[in-house]
Amino acid sequence: MKATTILLAMLSISFSALAQSPTPPELPAEMQPQLQPPLQPPVQAEPQTPTQPESQFREPAGSLAIHAQPQSQNGFTYVCGGVGLDESTSMKRMAKKYDLMSTFSTRNGSYLADINVNISSGDGKATLQTTCDGPILLVKFPHAGTYRIRAAVGDDTQTKTAQIPGLRSMQSMVFVWRAS
């Protein structure tokens, strides 16, 4: 009992000392705690409807953006682009969903754009004619077979042949011109 009385007396003295102590000095402004504004919920973007065919080839949110969009002509589905690191990386990733990836460059390694491309089937019926505005062209062919790919920079034309199997297996074709 004596120990309990002593303990209560000590606590009483401690509390009275705290109650009588002066308030702590004001801290300088740079040392005062900064209050953060309350967090706001994230703003939800409006859902967008796809405007191009084959919208499933768009990159998922949060990944590299691609500006080139798939287009169709005479049964061919194709994408031209690859300008800039983000877009070229994204197109190379998409290439596995296509039959052919063509790259256009000069011998010194510079990429080319504005390439006139003509793809025709062996029977001459299926054709794709476009001007590729970037160094990479991805193509899905309408059916298996042999195709002739012509690529022209100005008056300098190159022709190559591609054998497209019935299965989706991506081929790579590189067109290289002398630097001008």
3-state secondary structure of 18: helix
Q: In this predicted structure, what is the pLDDT of residue 55? A: 39
The pTM assigned to this predicted structure is 0.63
CA distance 48 to 56: 13
Extended strands (E) in the chain: 71-73, 76-81, 100-106, 115-121, 127-132, 136-140, 145-153, 156-164, 171-177
Q: Which domains, ranges and CATH numbers included, belong to the chain?
A: 63-177 (2.60.40.10)
What mean pLDDT comes out for the span 13-33?
Answer: 48
**AA letter at 51:** T
For 175, residues 6+ apart whose C-beta sits below 8 A from its C-beta are 102, 103, 104, 105, 115, 151, 158, 160
Sheet harboring 156-164: ordered strands across?
127-132, 115-121, 145-153, 156-164
Of residues 125 and 61, more confidence is placed in 125
pLDDT digits (tens, 9 = 90+) for 141-156: 998 999 999 999 999 9
Q: In this predicted structure, what is the pLDDT of residue 42? A: 47
Q: What is the DSSP letter of 173?
A: E
3-state secondary structure of 113: coil
CA distance 171 to 163: 9
Question: Is pLDDT of 9 > 90?
Answer: no
